[in-house]
Amino acid sequence: MTPETKLKGEVQDLLTVYGLFWMRLQSGMVKVRGGFMHLCPTGTADLVVYPEKGFGVGWIEMKQLKGKQRKSQVEFQAKAEAAGHPYLVARSAEDVKAWLKENGAL
C-alpha cells in the first residue's frame, strides 16, 4: 500500500466518523471494451465534501509528504477557489480535520 493510498483511507475514515457526506472521484479516461470511458475531468480533486454547515462544497486533493500537484490539478484548484469553494491539498488526516474546523464544517 502506498503512503497516498493509506492517507486516502485515513481521510475517508475521518470524514465518515464525523458524519460528513463525501464522494471519492476518479479523473481521466479508462479503456473499456469498445472504447474509452470518460471519468471526471483531468485534475479533479480526489474527494468532494458536502458538509451540513460551514460551506456548501469543498475539495480535497491528497498528496504524499513530498508530492506535488500536476498542472491540471493546480488549474482545477484555481477554478474551485474562483467559484468560492474551499480546496485543500492534504498530507495527513490532521490537515483535513484542521481545514474542516477552519471552514466551520466541524
Q: What is the mean pLDDT of residues 71-92?
A: 97
Range of the domain at 13: 3-102
Count of domains forming the chain:
1
Residue 96 near residue 13 (C-beta atoms within 8 A): no
pLDDT at 43: 96
- pTM of the shown model: 0.91
**Alpha-carbon span 7 to 41, nearest angstrom:** 22
CATH number assigned to the domain comprising residue 89: 3.40.1350.10
* Residue 24, SS3 per DSSP: strand
Which residues does 31 contact at the CB level (< 8 Å), separation at least 6? 37
pLDDT at 4: 82
Q: Is the pLDDT at 60 greater than 80, yes or no?
A: yes
pLDDT, tens digit (0-9, with 9 covering 90-100), for 20-52: 999 999 998 899 999 999 999 999 999 999 999
Which residues does 52 contact at the CB level (< 8 Å), separation at least 6? 20, 21
**Which residue type is seen at 40?**
C
